[in-house]
Amino acid sequence: MNEAPYDPRALANFMLDEAERNGLALTNLALQKLLYFAHGMFLNETKRPLVKGFFEAWQYGPVHPVAYKAFRSAGAEQIHFRAQGQDALTGEKKPLQMPTDPAIRQLVQGVLNSYGRLSAGRLVDLSHAKNSPWHHVVDKGRTSVAFGLRIADDVILERFKYHKVAIGLSAASGNPNEDTPFT
């Protein structure tokens, strides 16, 4: 049974648990990018959103404001806590419903395997790819009125293909000063 769309904090909690199991340390900046990549992949596969709400184009890439706020207190440090919900009637803190769908669990594991070991800077570079959803919204915001620089799901569907998949922890070709022909 597919439970999407999820509370973005619950999916972030699940992603943090999986990252921890894999020996990965995530900051809020990295978590935001990984959450965005998982959402974009799911949206492109199923044409349905993975998380409730929306992403916004911030200086360092896509951010889900609700998830960001939940983990803001970690600052630039590794996140060592999990977000909680709040009972609307009593105001008491309560745990968030974790994803149980095996396909979602597999998606999150795939995102962590592909991107989880990249530095936050590399994730930012990837999220800023030319013609990507973030780039499109920021560029449009320079020339017209943009309300909150929201990255709509239809823009993600249309432009997610412009993200280039990074392989490895560093550039495969090193840092060349100039291009050379094949020999």
The residue ranges of every structural domain in the chain are 8-162
Single pTM value for the model: 0.86
For the stretch 69-115, pLDDT in tens is 999 999 999 999 999 999 889 989 999 999 999 999 999 999 999 99
Neighbours of 34 (CB within 10 A): 25
Is a pLDDT exceeding 60 seen at residue 172? no
For the stretch 24-83, pLDDT in tens is 999 999 999 999 999 999 999 999 999 999 999 999 999 999 999 999 999 999 999 999
HSE-CB at 48 with a 13 A cutoff on CA atoms is 8
